[in-house]
């Protein structure tokens, strides 16, 4: 159910300094319980907080309570408004982080030296206590502070309890090793998360900083936000296109790789559409702006990628809930393992306490809590570099279980650039007259077919001769032009108006024309299949998609010809917008359980079926309504992007599955060995830090710019 925009206020913040995934989950749950908060999501990987607040509440008070919750769990984390963060994003390493790095390095050097120093017992004990405080003081302070706040069962407590227990057993090296290796693991986690955050923050770099606005006095450098549609802007070689527009003057080539992932340059000239964020390489361009800055391509790309973390995949939600119960359960098991056997069997407490300490160290769920969302975040980032914008990791996961892919025809599988291929008048009308009548009828329509007819006519038609214009979506138009009642449209529309059309076996879209109730003839409009459409269909089938279907409002003959050319499994033609939705619902009704259907389209009339489908894919050059309703946007406007998206989704799932099986498998083995007395704290440290390290390394494969999802394993 969609939110009532008037009653819901959306807020987005950066949680600057957020470093604990478990704490992030606790913050998220705490905010959700606040009165007036209808929903709250934290994307730990990007450090973003998304909130929906009931407009009837005191928003300021709710945000104050939110800050209190953040400070309760993460005192050093700062809640910064997204807009402020974008303007003042700092790369400086904070003082506390510098101190942390110095103490860790010093602790490692002293820890290593302890193996070679021959010290007597009291001095040796004092030395190891000092090394322990240097290496683990930061963790001890956090654990004490959290205990005072009532937050006992966290990773700081686990490491503190395990290391103190090791000291109590006079296993000094093991106690210090727990702290050092835990902090090394945390440092690596921070590096991996910062790298993934920078991969999205780098997108901010493609945002144009200024526009050269043309005025009566010349060009003035202004903010892109201050340029209105219809204005003229100049772009010099080396500058970014500030806003989406149409080239008025000049020729050049553009580097669009930041937007589409396409390495080849694109040639543009007068009449070419250019997208903001593209880099002008070698010629001066004068462009007429067609969209405001907040509707421009680069702004939408940044917004879509940044907001993707708000929609979590089911497996992410599962891991968060799993960690909530897993850690307390293992802690309880550690306590029982340490106490019950000695009391029941009379065994030495020291042996069983050490086994309990192994449980404490291994129980930390960081390997899963960090690596799973990091994998999805990397998948979304990898897709964005290829010009595929996925609005959430839930959609990325859904791409693994696609049953049927349904395509619109015009502008999706075909170019959507129509041309008048043939003019066939009836007796009493010439080709020139029939084309003129068609142009008068379509004068006020912005449909691609109408545009092609007006282009073929090539002359101006005065608005004064046009009156009583009526357009019927999916059918045709009625209009009075120069005193004549004109009707233009398909067979059904002509029949509904009492006009009998002859049967035609011509391949193409037929536009029939009638003048004052007399059938005047028809125009055949042709459209060409996109170069990569056939490759996309073959690619989908190779990935295991069961059916590929086309829905179109075009006539049956044209639809079936294209379907045969592309190798589609089924085609449904002559459909109105609401009939496309009905057909999509029929396809949904027969899909296997646990499977999803995709619909890909580009036009305004595709918005309803895009919203209705399990996963809606909008072609990047399509309408704003289609892009808004879709779950995935293909900036390159090529259907093969769906194949790439599914390949990326499959690689992401493989990595997530590998990490879950590996982490839980290793932990289960070490827990079993620990319970049997066959594992010491060194092995337990590997079961925590080592597994986390390996899982994060595996997850970071999704962040590699040069990785090929389709071919990776």
**Catalytically annotated residues:** 408
SS (HEC) of 569-623: CEEECCCCHHHHHHHHHHHHHCCCCCCEEEEEECCHHHHHHHHHCCEEEEECCCC
Please, which residues have CB within 8 angstroms of residue 375's CB and are 6 or more apart in sequence?
Answer: 652, 655, 656, 659, 698, 699, 702
* CA-based nearest residue to 286, from 345, 242, 224: 242
Judged by phi (left if over 0) then psi (alpha if -120 to 50, else beta), residue 387 lies in left
CA 611 to chain CA centroid, nearest Å = 17
Backbone angles phi, psi at 9, to 5 degrees: -110, 125
d(C-alpha 438, C-alpha 520), whole Å: 10
d(C-alpha 134, C-alpha 403), whole Å: 57
Is the Cβ–Cβ distance between 384 and 704 less than 8 Å?
no
What's the residue count for the chain? 713
Q: Which residues pair with 599 in a beta bridge?
A: 406, 616
Is the Cβ–Cβ distance between 605 and 554 less than 8 Å?
no
Residue linked to tokens 């399509």: 622
Is the Cβ–Cβ distance between 506 and 552 less than 8 Å?
no
Please, which residues have CB within 8 angstroms of residue 14's CB and are 6 or more apart in sequence?
Answer: 47, 48, 49, 79, 80, 81, 82, 85
Is the Cβ–Cβ distance between 652 and 375 less than 8 Å?
yes
* Side-chain half-sphere CA neighbours of 127 within 13 A: 17
Both tokens assigned to 34: 């606040």
CA 337 to chain CA centroid, nearest Å = 45
Both tokens assigned to 444: 């006020």
Helix (H/G/I), strand (E/B), else coil: 365: coil
Neighbours of 37 (CB within 10 A): 19
d(C-alpha 618, C-alpha 633), whole Å: 5
* CA-based nearest residue to 666, from 411, 231, 394, 363: 363
Both tokens assigned to 519: 């059938």
């Amino acid at each position: 159910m969609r939110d009532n925009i008037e009653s819901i206020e959306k807020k987005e913040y950066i949680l600057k300094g957020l470093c604990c995934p478990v704490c992030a989950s606790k913050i998220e749950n705490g905010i959700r319980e606040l009165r007036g908060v209808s929903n709250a999501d934290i994307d730990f990987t990007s450090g973003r907080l998304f909130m929906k607040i009931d407009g009837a509440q005191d928003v300021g008070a709710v945000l104050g309570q939110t800050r209190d919750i953040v400070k309760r769990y993460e005192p050093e984390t700062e809640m910064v408004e997204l807009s402020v963060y974008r303007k003042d994003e700092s790369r400086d390493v904070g003082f506390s982080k510098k101190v942390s790095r110095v103490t860790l390095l010093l602790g490692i050097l002293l820890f290593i030296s302890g193996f070679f120093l021959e010290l007597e017992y009291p001095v040796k004990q004092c030395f190891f206590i000092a090394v322990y405080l240097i290496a683990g003081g930061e963790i001890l302070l956090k654990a004490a502070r959290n205990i005072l706040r009532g937050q006992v069962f966290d990773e700081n407590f686990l490491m503190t309890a395990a290391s103190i227990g090791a000291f109590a057993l006079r296993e000094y090296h093991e106690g210090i090793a727990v702290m050092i290796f835990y902090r090394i693991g945390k440092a690596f986690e921070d590096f991996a998360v910062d790298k993934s955050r920078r991969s999205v923050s780098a997108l901010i770099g493609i945002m144009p900083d200024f526009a050269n606005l043309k005025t009566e006095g010349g060009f003035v450098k202004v903010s892109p936000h201050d340029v209105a549609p219809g204005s003229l802007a100049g772009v010099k070689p080396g500058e970014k296109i500030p806003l989406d527009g149409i080239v008025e003057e000049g020729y050049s080539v553009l580097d669009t790789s930041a937007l589409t992932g396409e390495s080849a340059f694109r040639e543009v000239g007068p009449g070419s559409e250019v997208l903001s964020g593209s880099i002008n390489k070698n010629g001066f361009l004068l462009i007429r702006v067609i969209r405001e800055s907040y509707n421009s391509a680069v702004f939408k790309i940044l917004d879509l990628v940044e907001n993707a973390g708000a929609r979590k995949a089911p497996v992410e939600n599962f891991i968060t809930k799993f960690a909530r119960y897993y850690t307390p359960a293992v802690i309880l098991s550690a306590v029982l393992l340490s106490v019950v056997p000695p009391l029941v069997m009379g065994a030495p407490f020291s042996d069983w306490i050490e086994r309990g300490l192994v449980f404490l160290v291994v129980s930390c769920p960081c390997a899963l809590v960090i690596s799973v969302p990091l994998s999805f975040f990397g998948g979304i980032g990898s897709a964005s570099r290829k010009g595929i914008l996925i609005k959430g990791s839930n959609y990325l996961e859904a791409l693994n279980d696609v049953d049927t892919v349904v395509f619109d025809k015009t502008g999706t599988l075909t170019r959507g650039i129509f041309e008048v291929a043939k003019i066939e008048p009836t007796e009493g009308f010439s080709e020139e007259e029939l084309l003129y009548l068609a142009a008068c009828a379509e004068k006020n329509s912005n449909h691609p077919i109408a545009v092609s007819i007006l282009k073929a006519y090539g002359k101006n038609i005065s608005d004064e001769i046009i009156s009583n214009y009526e357009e019927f979506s999916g059918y045709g138009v009625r209009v009075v032009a120069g005193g004549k009642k004109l009707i233009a449209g398909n067979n059904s529309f002509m029949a509904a108006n009492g006009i009998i059309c002859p049967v035609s076996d011509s391949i193409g879209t037929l536009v029939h024309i009638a003048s004052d109730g007399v059938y005047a003839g028809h125009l055949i409009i042709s459209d060409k299949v996109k170069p990569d459409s056939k490759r996309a269909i073959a690619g989908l089938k190779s990935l295991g998609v069961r059916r590929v279907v086309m829905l179109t409002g075009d006539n049956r003959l044209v639809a079936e010809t294209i379907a045969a050319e592309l190798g589609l499994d089924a085609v449904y033609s002559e459909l109105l917008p609401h009939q496309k939705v009905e057909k999509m619902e029929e396809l949904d009704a027969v899909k296997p359980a646990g499977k999803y259907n995709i619909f890909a389209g580009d036009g305004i009339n595709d918005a309803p079926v895009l919203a209705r489908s399990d996963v809606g894919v909008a072609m990047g050059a399509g309408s704003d309504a289609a892009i808004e309703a879709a779950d995935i946007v293909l900036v390159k406007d090529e259907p093969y992007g769906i194949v790439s998206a599914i390949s990326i989704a499959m690689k992401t799932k493989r990595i997530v599955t590998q990490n879950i099986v590996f982490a839980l498998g290793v932990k289960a083995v070490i827990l079993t060995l620990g319970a049997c007395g066959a594992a010491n704290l060194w092995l337990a440290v590997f079961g925590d830090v080592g597994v986390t390290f390996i899982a994060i390394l595996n997850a970071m494969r999704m962040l590699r710019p040069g990785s090929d999802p389709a071919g990776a394993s």
